[in-house]
């Protein structure tokens, strides 16, 4: 009986570590990607200010796609934690 409780406790600890790693590592990629995206958009607007409307709309769309990846990581972390 005691062994079962200890095994469940260890499994819960591993699940918490796994969910923390999933969201932590899953948020690094989109964070770096959005930073690079914003830098390149600012560079493009600096080179061609007349195209700032098109550049901004494309940048917002790309940011939304990058954020979707972070949301997938969050969903995976929640699945690991609660299932």
Q: What confidence score (pLDDT) does residue 30 get?
A: 93
Residue 79 has a pLDDT of: 94
On the CB side of 52, how many CA atoms lie within 13 Å of its CA?
7
**Cα(32)–Cα(63) distance, integer angstroms:** 11
**Residue with structure tokens 């969903």?**
75
pLDDT for the residue numbered 47: 96
**Domains of the chain as residue ranges with CATH:** 2-82 (1.20.20.10)
pLDDT in tens, the chain (83 residues): 678 888 888 999 999 999 999 999 999 999 999 999 999 999 999 999 999 999 999 999 999 999 999 999 999 999 999 98
pLDDT value of position 83: 86
**pLDDT value, residue 5:** 87
């Amino acid at each position: 009986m005691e062994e079962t409780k200890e095994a469940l406790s260890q499994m819960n600890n591993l699940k918490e570590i796994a969910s923390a790693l999933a969201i932590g590592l899953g948020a690094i990629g989109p964070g770096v990607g959005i930073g690079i995206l914003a830098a390149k958009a600012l560079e493009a607007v600096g080179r061609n200010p007349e195209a700032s409307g098109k550049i901004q709309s494309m940048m917002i769309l790309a940011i939304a796609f990058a954020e979707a990846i972070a949301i997938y990581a969050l969903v995976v972390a929640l699945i690991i934690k609660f299932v």
